[in-house]
Amino acid sequence: MIHVTVIPRHFNWLLLPTLLFGLAAGWLAAQSTNPPPATLTVRAGRMEYFPEQRYFVCAEDVVVTISNVTLRADRVMAYQNTEGTPDPQEFTRIVASGNVRVHVGNRTVRGQHAEWTSASKAIRITGNPVARERGGREICSDAIQYDLVREKLSFEGRMQLRAVITEDLKRDYRQFKGL
């Protein structure tokens, strides 16, 4: 959108800096209160759509992208909005199964099942999930949840941490004084 400001012929030019500052402040406020909407795309080698139930069944190299998160799985069911909302084409729930991999930055979470809902804005991974970071650290638990808004991993149930012992980790451990 382009905003055009018309300056009258008999304009007090001393007010120009105030006018420009006000326009800039208004534009910045509008930018900060309206973050870009999250995007969600689904790609697959094969898709089938069920219009009455309003969902897709996707198979063969399925890739789901939600903002900066990539989810890969053998099979994905993507449900569209069934309520009377402004965008009935919007996906409200994604259910993935079989060799699920969720990539976020330098982390990868693997499991057998994953579910994302637009209401929770989180992906919950189950089925022996393991979270791995570059550098060799991994955490296993009963369920792992990735909050898309806070960009945070949460672990549920029994947990086990494994790490590659490096010189940096040894030094950090020796310098650790407790909580």
The residue among 71, 88, 72 whose CA lies nearest residue 80 is: 88
Q: How far is CA 170 from the centre of its chain?
A: 33
Confidence of residue 58 (pLDDT cuts 50, 70, 90): very high
Residue 57 inside a domain? The answer is: yes
Residue 80 inside a domain? The answer is: yes
Rounded distance, CA 137 to CA 108, Å? 11
Residue 144 inside a domain? The answer is: yes
pLDDT score, position 57: 94
**Number of neighbours of residue 73 by Cβ within 10 angstroms:** 25
* pLDDT single digits (tens) 69-127: 999 999 999 998 766 555 656 788 899 999 999 998 888 999 999 999 888 889 999 99
DSSP state of 136: S
Residue 22 inside a domain? The answer is: no
pLDDT score, position 75: 96
Rounded distance, CA 49 to CA 56, Å? 4
Residue 129 inside a domain? The answer is: yes
Side-chain-side CA neighbours of residue 3 (13 Å): 7
pLDDT score, position 17: 43
- Residue in the block written with tokens 């799985």: 73
pLDDT score, position 92: 87
Residue 23 inside a domain? The answer is: no
Confidence of residue 63 (pLDDT cuts 50, 70, 90): very high
CATH of the domain at 99: 2.60.450.10
Q: Range of 65's domain?
A: 40-162
Mean pLDDT, to the nearest integer, of 137-156? 90
Instruction: For the chain, report the end-to-end CA distance as a whole number of angstroms.
Output: 52
Q: Are 175 and 162 in contact (CB under 8 A)?
A: no
Residue 47 inside a domain? The answer is: yes
Residue 72 inside a domain? The answer is: yes
| Beta bridge mates, 155 | 144
Number of independent structural domains in the chain? 1
Side-chain-side CA neighbours of residue 51 (13 Å): 0
Burial class (CB in 10 A: 0-12, 13-18, 19+), 76: buried
Is the pLDDT at 163 greater than 60? The verdict is yes
pLDDT score, position 24: 47
Mean pLDDT, to the nearest integer, of 4-17? 38
The model carries a pTM of 0.68
Q: Mean of the per-residue pLDDT values for the chain?
A: 76
- Residue in the block written with tokens 């795309």: 41
| Beta bridge mates, 95 | 77, 115
pLDDT above 90 covers a percentage of the chain that reads 33
